[in-house]
Chain A
Amino acid sequence: MEKIDLAQLFQGIGTLMHSDITVMVTRIGLILLGIMLVYLGRKGVLEPLVMIPMGLGMVAINSGIMFMPDGSQGNLFVDPMVTDYNKLLDVMQIDFLQPIYTLMFSNGLIACFVFMGIGVLLDISYLLRNPLTSMFLALCAELGTVATIPIAQSLGLNLRESASIAMVGGADGPMVLFTSLSLAKNLFVPITVVAYLYLGLTYGGYPYLIKLMVPERLRAIKMPPPPKQKRKVSAGQKLMLAVVLCAVLCLLFPVAAPLFFSLFIGIAIRESGMKPLIDFISGPLLYGSTFILGLLLGVLCEAHLLLDPKILILLILGIVALILSAVGGILGGYVMYFITKGKFNPVIGIAGVSCVPTTAKVAQKIVSKANPQAIIINDAIGANIMGVITTAILTGLYITLIPLWG
């Protein structure tokens, strides 16, 4: 009997043994990280809807690397780096996730689907209650989105890459995906992965930052109830708001028009009361897109793709952007506290970071611990929704201005 080459028989292990030490360690590290994400998702520490498919995807892609007919190493999941048209057609018939990646992920369609779902779930009446304060807080909470750019440039990234990683400060996954696809296609895989990883961590990390920056006495401030006459906002008002804002923002930033359209069509459908569409978008479309997004993000975490020397810089910059945005939001909260002479709870400021509805929930949770009778969730949701709009505005500004800036 001919001698059997075990490396050829069990190719996952074979490729591991034939790789250089860096790739091998990275692959094992990513497999372990994937297992940890599944565990933390199951425990509820991280968002399970994204983290469980992403974690398992990471495990599968880094375990399932094989020898290709030309002797190189590859997989049967997806090849995000293929650009040649003829090769792409071949790959689409072989790699099972390639059609979804090419036709849904790399053109931003999946981000738009998620945005439609967010739109259907958003109740913008909170936004109509106190638009100026909400917008001010949301703009303050974009500090990380702008201040990270010079830091990134000083660490050696070019302007397009810096703007893409700075968008992590907006804490809005689809926006980061959209910006990096438009400005830094070479880095969009690691940037998007870093963004989603950190967005999962905001729920665990932000409470510590709030406690560090806001003393308990201020965390316990009760917000006054909204004036009676403004309590009810009609569906007609909300629908009109969606239509006008969509038109204005699309006029200003045509490059980000697909995202604006997706968000506002969701709001318009909700406010028009089209129940079959609401059920479809908020159910199968949103959950299906989130699942596919998690799955693709997981399989994109392949060791060869992430072994970019810039990855460490991106990891640092991602967290810097998120911390700066949170600090900016809380400082905005303090400004409102002083303007209202102590009647505004500064914790609401962190809800300006547009991780809907995580940051609003975090703010309410922290405030409830300090004073169980203090209800800030309505004001926090208003700032949160404005955060989505400000992040979309900044996305539009970056995609429009940076190519012109050179």
Chain B
Amino acid sequence: MRTIELVLLVYALAFAIGMAVAFLVRWIGKLSAMLDLQFDPMLRHEYYRLKRIKKYHKEQVKRISKLSDNNNDLVSHYYGGNTTADPNDILKWKK
């Protein structure tokens, strides 16, 4: 009985660690692109510019949402849909 417990524990741990490693591998792809970015002044400037724009847009969406709780049309009219300013595009391009 204790052997079965051990086997189940080992397999469960292996699955947990293995999947964590797989997520890490996926995340490292993005992280290394970020690091590459830090050494390219032009790209870095563009990345943070877009990031600021995105943050500004998000804040505007929040602000208008508060002003017009029941008026979703207004929100989507002004700030909904694609802002097109996605800093992650640069990371994707770097990849």
Contacts and interface: CB of A to CB of B under 8 A. Distances in A.
B25 A241 contact: yes
A159 interface: yes
B21 A389 contact: yes
Interface in B37-66: none
A237 interface: yes
A398 B11 CA distance: 11
A321 interface: no
A146 B3 contact: no
Given A139-B15, A244-B28, A229 B35 contact: no
B10 A390 contact: no
Contacts of A159: 3, 6
Given A150-B3, A240-B31, A397-B10, A131 B18 contact: no
Interface extent on A, as a size class?
35 or more
Contacts of A393: 14, 17-18, 21
Interface in A356-406: 386, 389-390, 393-394, 397-398, 401-402, 405
A211 B9 CA distance: 33
Contacts of B3: 149-150, 153, 159, 162
Contact of A405 (B6, B15, B28, B31): B6
Given A240-B35, A245-B24, A135 B4 contact: no
Interface string B26-37: 101101110110
Given A132-B26, A146-B11, A389 B32 contact: no
Contacts of A146: 7, 10-11, 14
Interface class of chain B by DSSP: helix
A153 B7 CA distance: 12
B2 interface: yes
Contact of A241 (B6, B13, B18, B28): B28
A128 B22 CA distance: 9
Given A134-B22, A389-B21, A240 B32 contact: yes
A305 interface: no
Nearest to B33: A237
B23 to A, nearest CB: 7
B90 to A, nearest CB: 12
B35 A149 contact: no
A230 interface: yes
Given A134-B22, A149-B3, A386-B22, A233 B29 contact: yes
A405 B9 CA distance: 11
A135 B21 contact: yes
B77 interface: no
Contacts of B6: 149, 159, 401-402, 405
B14 A394 contact: yes
A249 B36 CA distance: 25
Contact of B28 (A135, A232, A237, A252): A237
Contact of A234 (B4, B26, B36): B36
A142 B17 CA distance: 14
B42 to A, nearest CB: 18
Contact of B14 (A229, A232, A248, A397): A397
A147 interface: yes
Contacts of A241: 25, 28, 32
B1 to A, nearest CB: 10
Contacts of A139: 14-15, 18-19
Contacts of A52: none
A252 B24 CA distance: 14
Contact of A135 (B10, B19, B95): B19
Given A236-B36, A401-B10, 17 more contacts: A128-B25, A128-B28, A128-B29, A134-B22, A135-B18, A139-B15, A142-B11, A149-B3, A159-B6, A229-B92, A229-B95, A234-B36, A237-B28, A248-B24, A249-B21, A397-B10, A405-B6
Interface of A: 127-128, 131-132, 134-136, 138-139, 142, 146-147, 149-150, 153, 159, 162, 229-230, 232-234, 236-237, 240-241, 244-245, 248-249, 252, 386, 389-390, 393-394, 397-398, 401-402, 405
